[in-house]
Amino acid sequence: MLLAPLRWALRIAFLILAAIVLYFAVTLVQVWLTGRQYDPHPAGAILVMGAAQYDCVPTHDFQARLDQAAKLYHEGDAPLIVVTGNKQPGDKCTEAQSGKTYLEAKNVPKAAILEAGGDDSYENIADAQPELLAHNARVVLVTTDPFHEDRSMAIASNLSLSPSPTPTQTSPITGWSTVPYYLKEALGVGLGRIIGYNHLEWLHDA
């Protein structure tokens, strides 16, 4: 008789754990499926999620995102590209500045490129949102790595934008090396839905 409360406590703990595992698994599948979507269409702007740069030169990962944005621009899908990202202490350029320079070398006119700041995904989009709305560019094509697409689109939707997925097709992060990124993004999306994407500062962005 004395063991009955303990059995009930263990059952409840097991059910809670099973629910958490199931929620994470479903979220992981959703993140993976979103990363496989590619939906270019006429939009107000192309939103490029920031990534690392060194000495004003975008990393290969960031270049892949920028190349995708340039491709969409030259195909006439949007008249504007918004590049995002601040800089780390000691950097000469922000991620946005290095992205703009790179896009200009890809024959994207300077007037077609807008810059926004931000130290993480939420801040990137939150900083870009007022500029996008000022240019009547509520409909945006979100360009980032496939594993990062779901969270980026969710943030954009929460900030009154209408996003569509256009992940880079040439990311250097491929194969089994994407597994930890997808796991991290599933955790971020799962928690973001519960506590808000603006409370994920601890989640180091891709």
Kindly report the CATH number assigned to the domain that includes residue 151: 3.40.50
Domain count, the chain: 1
Phi, psi (deg, nearest 5) at residue 115: -115, 140
66 or 1, which is more confident? 66
Residue 76 DSSP SS3: coil
Gap between the Cα atoms of 185 and 177, Å rounded: 14
Dihedral sign for Cα 180, 173, 116, 85, please. Answer: positive
129's tokens = 């949102």
pLDDT of residue 9: 77
- Mean pLDDT score of the chain: 93
Residue 24: inside a domain, yes or no? no
Residue 181: inside a domain, yes or no? yes
* Residue range of the domain that includes 76: 34-195
| Res 201 pLDDT > 80 | no
Which percentage of the chain shows pLDDT scores above 70? 96
pLDDT bin (cut points 50, 70, 90) of residue 177 is very high
pLDDT bin (cut points 50, 70, 90) of residue 189 is very high
pLDDT of residue 10: 82
| Res 12 pLDDT > 90 | no
pLDDT bin (cut points 50, 70, 90) of residue 1 is low
pLDDT of residue 197: 92
The vertex-135 CA angle with 131 and 31, nearest 5°, equals 65
Contacts of 81 (CB under 8 A, 6+ apart): 45, 46, 48, 69, 70, 73, 103, 108, 112, 113, 114
The model carries a pTM of 0.90
Residue 45: inside a domain, yes or no? yes
